[in-house]
């Protein structure tokens, strides 16, 4: 896998607990990446062992497969976390080692009638990366639902990009599912509760729909079970769970 040097260009708060980090990518070979893929950032544990944490590329890709010289990632801080500790202290101009790109959580070449792109938290970033390809498929007549789970409005990361798409295309639906606090000024698609509560009300066309699940592992597991019960074939339920690798031992 291509070794990369990443240089911090800037960090902006998305909410109290999440930041967007801009990184310059230096690579011996062109860094060719497909929307939906992720990077592994390399870190050293306190005991000196090398480990990594994965982050999806959050930038809106100019096209589905492209060379990137700069990428955005969205990072939610985890109290006491290794990457949290290191990344939150990084200054502009500091560097990190990484490898990538990895992953197959990408739009398949076959087009589907309806796409359900389901996320919690930073799990929405692969869908942001895919927005230009999504637009092409909307123009070809596919319908997209981005179903976004958060505790409250501040968790609706990058919502402006999805709302803009919804304002342009009747066949694009952005569905915020707020589990704790509803918005004072509710959007027309707002749902109270988890993404599962919303999806439970849906009927699925098990031959023509496809679903993508990304983010919190419990959400991914629960929603996977729900969609299977509703008859969705397993190959048409794509999953990416945001978990850390087990700590390395000497």
**Minimum distance from residue 157 beta carbon to ligand FAD (Å):** 10
Which CB sits closer to ligand FAD, 87 or 177?
A: 87
Residue 54 touching ligand FAD (CB under 6 A):
yes
**Contact code string over 199-238 relative to ligand FAD, x by CB under 6 A:** ----------------------------------------
Q: List, in order, residues 6 or more apart from 88 with CB less than 8 Å away.
A: 19, 77
Residue 84 touching ligand FAD (CB under 6 A):
yes
Which CB sits closer to ligand FAD, 54 or 142?
A: 54
DSSP structure string for 195-222: HHHHHHT----TTTEEEEEEE-HHHHHH
**End-to-end CA separation in angstroms for the chain:** 24
Residue 37 touching ligand FAD (CB under 6 A):
no
Residue 20 touching ligand FAD (CB under 6 A):
no
- Pairwise CA distance, residues 115 & 107, whole Å: 10
Q: Which residue is nearest to ligand FAD (CB)?
A: 81
Residue 55 touching ligand FAD (CB under 6 A):
yes
Q: Which residues of 223-245 are buried (b: 16+ CB within 10 A; e: fewer)?
A: bbebbeeeebeeebbbbbebeee
List residues bridging with 240 in a β-sheet: 214
Stretch binding ligand FAD (CB under 6 A), from 2-10, 72-80, 127-135, 154-162:
72-80
Residue 125 touching ligand FAD (CB under 6 A):
yes
Q: Which of 20, 37, 56, 159 binds ligand FAD (CB under 6 A)?
A: 56
**Residue whose C-alpha is closest to residue 223's, from 184, 194, 187, 250:** 194
Which CB sits closer to ligand FAD, 131 or 138?
A: 131
**Minimum distance from residue 45 beta carbon to ligand FAD (Å):** 9
Q: Which of 37, 122, 159, 196 binds ligand FAD (CB under 6 A)?
A: 122
- Pairwise CA distance, residues 140 & 16, whole Å: 38
Please report, for residues 89, 121, 165, 178, the alpha-carbon distance to residue 127 in angstroms, rounded to integers and kept in the order given: 28, 12, 12, 19
**Residue whose C-alpha is closest to residue 161's, from 119, 192, 118, 130:** 130
The residues of the shown chain that bind ligand FAD, judged by CB under 6 A, are: 38, 53-56, 73-76, 78, 80-84, 122, 125, 240, 242-244
């Amino acid at each position: 896998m291509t070794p990369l040097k990443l240089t911090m260009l800037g960090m902006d708060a998305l909410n109290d607990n999440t930041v967007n980090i801009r990184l310059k990518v230096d690579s011996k070979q062109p860094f060719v990446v497909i929307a939906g893929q992720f990077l592994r950032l390399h870190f050293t544990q306190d005991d000196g062992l090398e480990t990594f944490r994965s982050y999806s590329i959050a930038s809106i890709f100019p096209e589905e497969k492209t060379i990137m010289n700069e990428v955005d990632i969205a990072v939610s801080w985890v109290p006491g976390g290794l990457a949290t500790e290191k990344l939150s202290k990084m200054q502009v101009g500091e560097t990190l080692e990484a490898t990538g790109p990895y992953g197959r959580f990408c739009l398949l070449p076959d087009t589907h009638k309806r796409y359900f792109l389901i996320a919690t938290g930073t799990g929405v970033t692969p869908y942001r990366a895919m927005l230009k390809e999504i637009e092409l498929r909307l123009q070809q007549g596919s319908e997209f639902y981005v179903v976004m789970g958060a505790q409250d409005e501040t968790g609706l990361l990058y919502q402006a990009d999805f709302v803009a798409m919804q304002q342009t295309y009747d066949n694009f639906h952005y569905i915020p599912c707020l589990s704790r606090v509803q918005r004072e000024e509710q959007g027309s698609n707002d749902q109270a509760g988890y993404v599962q509560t919303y999806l439970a009300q849906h009927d699925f066309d098990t031959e023509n729909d496809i679903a993508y699940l990304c983010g919190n592992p419990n959400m991914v597991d629960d929603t996977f079970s729900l969609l299977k019960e509703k008859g969705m074939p397993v190959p048409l339920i794509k999953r990416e769970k945001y978990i850390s690798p087990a700590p390395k031992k000497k």
